[in-house]
Amino acid sequence: MLLVTGGAGFIGSNFVLDWLAATGEAVVNLDKLTYAGNPGNLASLADDPRHIFVHGDIGDAARVTALLREYRPRAIVNLAAESHVDRSIHGPAAFIETNIVGTFTLLDTVRAWWSALPAGEQQAFRFLHVSTDEVYGSLAPEAAGFAETTPYAPNSPYSASKAASDHLVRAYHHTYGLPTLTTNCSNNYGPLQFPEKLIPLMIVNTLAGKPLPVYGDGLNVRDWLYVGDHCEAIRTVLAGGVPGATYNIGGNAEMTNIDVVRAVCAAVGQCRPGPDYAAQITYVKDRPGHDRRYAIDSTKIRDELGWSPRETFATGIERTVRWYVDHPQWLADVTSGEYRQWVARHYAT
């Protein structure tokens, strides 16, 4: 039995689906169901006894304790987080509450339960914390990618809150012996992603004939990781990672934002031939504290655990665009009035 937190979000729901398909091992899925948590992502599991969904908060110690006692999971994969930089700029309090206070409460609750387990179960248990490359700050154009030893230098409330949670996880291993693992991944994309993030937003707007808002000069660089590859990497770290260690997970796909948007336009054109979708590109005011470049060095996970991404950006973006084109009802359900107001506020020209 695995306990997954945040399993109705983008990466979380993909991970739950991937986990059940790859291993068949049952999952208890604890999710608070904020705006980005979508039970519809898990509709295919409605009658699957291997998936137990629990509506709840990682900050609710009593609820977490009850789940631990009832299901006795052999591992926890912590994906519960507020995760969007723009939202953290306009409303940082929720990020502090979930990413720092929530992670602390989860860790302390798990520690108390874990410390009472028999020695063999204690040694076999794992707490895997999923984090981001944004904790490392911004890279110069010629600099090497982020390694696990790169000093933390977060530049947004989001990345600062994730950095704090990473430090808490590290401290609970070194102070209490809790067998933790931390992964820091690059920008994910793929099916089921809420369309506030760059790639799904561009797909949605391209299909709707709306402007494609690009921050600043569009030359900010990110490394792009297909979500299916990320899920496989998490499974790999959970199976073979060294307790207390950190593993960086990247997609080997550095691209400028403007090139990503152009790639989306081309992929949509392949699925749905029509006008010159790139003509919809519109440059908007840059966001505050916009890091110029991220890049991941995945040498450690490749050499120690044998993982490397299967998808190139070309194959991943083709699969992603095809999924959104083929699921118009999912898009209609998530792009509510609240979502449209959010886009108007954050991408004003």
Helices 257-271 and 313-326, packing angle to 10 deg: 50
Confidence band, pLDDT 50/70/90 cuts, at residue 39: confident
Confidence band, pLDDT 50/70/90 cuts, at residue 124: very high
Domain contains 207: no
pLDDT in tens, 266-302: 999 999 998 999 999 999 999 888 889 999 999 999 9
pLDDT in tens, 297-320: 999 999 999 999 999 999 999 999
Mean pLDDT, residues 140-153 taken together: 95
Average pLDDT, the chain: 94
What pLDDT was estimated at residue 345?
Answer: 60
pLDDT for residue 342 is more than 50: no
pLDDT for residue 347 is more than 60: no
Q: Which of 31-35, 115-119, 281-285 has the lowest mean pLDDT?
A: 31-35
Phi and psi dihedrals of 277, rounded to 5? -60, -30
pLDDT for residue 85 is more than 90: no
Please give the Cα distance from 152 to 133 (Å, whole number).
10
For 207-270, give the DSSP string: HHT--EEEETTS--EEEEEEHHHHHHHHHHHHHHPPTT-EEEE--S-EEEHHHHHHHHHHHHHH
Helices in the chain by DSSP H: which ranges?
Answer: 10-23, 61-71, 85-90, 93-95, 103-114, 119-124, 157-176, 198-208, 227-240, 257-271, 299-305, 313-326, 328-334, 337-346
Which two structure tokens, joined as six digits, stand for 322?
Answer: 């095809």
Confidence band, pLDDT 50/70/90 cuts, at residue 202: very high
pLDDT for residue 137 is more than 80: yes
Choose, from 133, 229, 291, 311, the residue flagged as catalytic.
133
What percentage of the chain carries pLDDT values higher than 70? Answer: 96
Mean pLDDT, residues 130-152 taken together: 96
Domain count, the chain: 1
Q: Which of 89-98, 138-147, 337-346 has the lowest mean pLDDT?
A: 337-346
For residue 41, what is the DSSP state? Answer: G
Please give the Cα distance from 147 to 133 (Å, whole number).
9
Mean pLDDT, residues 326-342 taken together: 74
158 assigned to active site: yes
Choose, from 134, 166, 291, 311, the residue flagged as catalytic.
134
Domain contains 130: yes
Mean pLDDT, residues 341-346 taken together: 54
How many C-beta atoms lie closer than 10 Å to residue 17's C-beta? 21
pTM of the full predicted structure? 0.94
Q: Which of 76-85, 208-217, 255-264 has the lowest mean pLDDT?
A: 76-85
pLDDT for residue 235 is more than 90: yes
What pLDDT was estimated at residue 346?
Answer: 52
Domain contains 149: yes
pLDDT for residue 67 is more than 50: yes
Residue 90 vs residue 264, higher pLDDT: 264
Question: Is residue 155 within 8 Å of residue 135, measured between CB atoms?
Answer: no
Please give the Cα distance from 235 to 15 (Å, whole number).
9
Domain contains 213: no
57 assigned to active site: no
What pLDDT was estimated at residue 34?
Answer: 83
Helices 227-240 and 10-23, packing angle to 10 deg: 60
Supply angle C-alpha 9, 306, 119, rounded to 5. Answer: 75
Q: In terms of C-beta density within 10 A (0-12 exposed, 13-18 middle, 19 or more buried), how is residue 125 classed?
A: buried
Please give the Cα distance from 51 to 334 (Å, whole number).
23
What pLDDT was estimated at residue 150?
Answer: 97
In 131-167, which positions are buried (b, 16+ CB within 10 angstroms) versus exposed (e)?
bbbbbbbbbeeeeebbeeebebebbbbbbbbbbbbbe
Domain contains 216: no
Choose, from 82, 136, 158, 189, the residue flagged as catalytic.
158
Domain contains 317: no
Domain contains 46: yes
Domain contains 347: no
Which domain CATH number covers 56?
3.40.50.720
Nearest to 321, CA basis, from 219, 200, 194: 200
pLDDT in tens, 157-185: 999 999 999 999 999 999 999 999 999 99
247 assigned to active site: no
51 is in which domain, residue-wise? 2-191+226-252+293-310
